[in-house]
C-alpha cells in the first residue's frame, strides 16, 4: 500500500467512525409512520416503516429535532400520533441534538406527549447509555391502540387542547410534574415524565433522562420490549 493509500484508508475509517446517522428499526407488529420535526438541518419526513423493517432517515450533518411515531396511519390521519408538534392523540417522541457539538449527540425519550409505542435509543458505542421504555400495563388514562395519554393530563378531555398548551396543560408551569407523571417516571426512569424531569429549575425527581454520546451512529428501535433503569 502506498503512503497515500494508507492515509486514505485511515481517513475513510475515521469518516465512518464519525458518520452521523439515525436508523429506525421497527420491531412492532404493525407498520408505523415517522413524523419528524427539525430545529436545524434536514431529515426524511413522513416515512412509512413496515413491521420488522427499518429505515435510514438520512439526517444532514448536525441535525437537531424530534421523531414522533404514528400508528394506524393513512397519510397524515393516524389512530395515534400524527404530524403536529403537540399532537391531539398520544405519541412517544425521541429527541436528538447532533448540532450542539459536532461529533457528539444528545438524546432522550420524551413521554410528555404520551406514549404509543415503546422506544430504545442506542449508539454504535455500547458504552453510551441505551435508554429504553416499554409500558405494558397500568396506564392511568388509556388512549386508542394501546396508547396512554400525556402525564400532564388527568383525563382524555384534559388533553383535548394538546398535551402541553401554553400553561402546561396540567404540568406545573409547563415545567414541573403533571397529575400522572409519577406513573411515567416510576415505569420508565430513563424517559421524560414532565418537562423538567432532568432536574432543571430544581424539579424532582431529577432522573437520568438525557445523555450525550461521542458516537453519532444512532439506532432508534420501536417496540424493543425492554425498559432501562440506569441511575443518574
Ligand X SMILES: *[C@@H]1O[C@H](CO)[C@@H](O)[C@H](O)[C@H]1NC(C)=O
The nearest distance, CB 57 to ligand X, in angstroms, is 6
Among 12, 50, 51, 56, binds ligand X (CB under 6 A): 56
Asked whether position 229 contacts ligand X by CB under 6 A, the answer is no
Buried (b) or exposed (e) across 33-63, using 16+ Cβ within 10 A? bbbbbeeeeebeeebebeeeeebebebeebb
CA distance 88 to 34: 16
Residue whose C-alpha is closest to residue 222's, from 98, 62, 60, 67: 67
**Spatial separation of the C-alpha atoms in residues 181 and 194, rounded to whole Å:** 6
Q: How far is the CB of 44 from ligand X (least distance, A)?
A: 4
User: For ligand X, which is the closer residue by CB, 55 or 124?
Assistant: 55
**Which of positions 139-198 make contact with ligand X (CB under 6 A)?**
none
The Cα 46–Cα 118 span in angstroms is 19
Nearer to ligand X, 18 or 60 (CB): 60
Applying CB under 6 A, the span of 54-62, 64-72, 105-113, 215-223 interacting with ligand X comes to 54-62
How far is the C-alpha of 101 from the C-alpha of 88, rounded, in Å? Answer: 33
Pick the closer one to ligand X by CB: 55 or 172.
55
Instruction: Print the binding letters for residues 63-92 with ligand X: x by CB under 6 A, - otherwise.
Output: -----------x------------------
For the bound state, the minimum distance from the C-beta of residue 48 to ligand X, rounded and expressed in Å, comes to 9
Task: Please report whether residue 58 would count as binding ligand X according to CB under 6 A.
Answer: yes
Of the candidate spans 50-58, 105-113, 141-149, 162-170, the one that interacts with ligand X by CB under 6 A turns out to be: 50-58
Name the residue whose CB lies closest to ligand X. Answer: 74
- In terms of Cα–Cα distance, which of 128, 127, 107 is closest to 119? 107
* Ranges within 5-24 binding ligand X (CB under 6 A): none
131 within 8 A of 228, measured Cβ to Cβ: yes
Instruction: Please report whether residue 44 would count as binding ligand X according to CB under 6 A.
Output: yes
User: What are the grid coordinates assigned to 67, written together?
Assistant: 421523531
Interface stretch with ligand X, choices 52-60, 95-103, 118-126, 179-187 (CB under 6 A): 52-60
In the complex with ligand X, the residue whose CB is nearer, 57 or 132, is: 57
Report in angstroms the alpha-carbon separations of 123 from 19, 34, 100, 218: 12, 20, 17, 5
Query: Whole-angstrom Cα distance, residue 72 to residue 75?
Result: 10
**Residue numbers at the binding site for ligand X (CB under 6 A):** 44, 47, 55-58, 74
Amino acid at each position: 500500500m502506498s503512503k497515500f493509500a494508507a492515509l486514505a484508508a485511515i481517513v475513510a475509517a475515521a469518516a465512518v467512525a464519525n458518520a452521523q446517522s439515525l436508523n429506525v428499526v421497527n420491531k412492532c407488529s404493525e407498520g408505523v409512520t415517522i413524523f419528524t420535526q427539525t430545529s436545524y438541518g434536514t431529515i426524511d419526513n413522513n416515512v412509512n416503516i413496515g413491521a420488522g423493517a427499518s429505515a435510514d432517515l438520512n439526517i444532514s450533518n448536525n441535525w437537531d429535532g424530534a421523531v414522533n411515531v404514528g400508528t394506524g396511519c393513512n397519510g397524515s390521519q393516524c389512530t395515534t400520533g400524527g404530524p403536529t408538534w403537540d399532537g391531539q392523540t398520544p405519541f412517544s417522541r425521541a429527541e436528538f441534538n447532533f448540532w450542539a457539538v459536532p461529533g457528539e449527540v444528545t438524546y432522550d425519550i420524551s413521554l410528555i406527549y404520551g406514549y404509543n409505542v415503546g422506544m430504545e435509543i442506542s449508539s454504535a458505542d455500547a458504552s453510551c447509555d441505551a435508554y429504553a421504555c416499554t409500558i405494558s400495563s397500568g396506564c392511568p388514562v388509556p388512549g386508542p391502540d394501546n396508547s396512554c395519554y400525556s402525564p400532564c393530563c388527568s383525563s382524555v378531555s384534559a388533553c383535548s387542547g394538546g398535551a402541553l398548551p401554553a400553561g402546561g396543560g396540567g404540568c406545573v408551569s409547563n415545567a414541573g410534574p403533571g397529575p400522572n407523571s409519577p406513573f411515567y417516571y416510576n415505569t420508565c426512569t430513563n424517559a421524560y415524565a414532565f418537562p423538567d424531569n432532568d432536574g432543571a429549575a430544581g424539579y424532582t425527581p431529577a432522573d437520568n433522562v438525557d445523555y450525550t454520546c461521542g458516537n453519532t451512529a444512532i439506532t432508534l428501535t420501536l417496540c424493543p420490549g425492554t425498559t432501562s433503569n440506569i441511575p443518574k
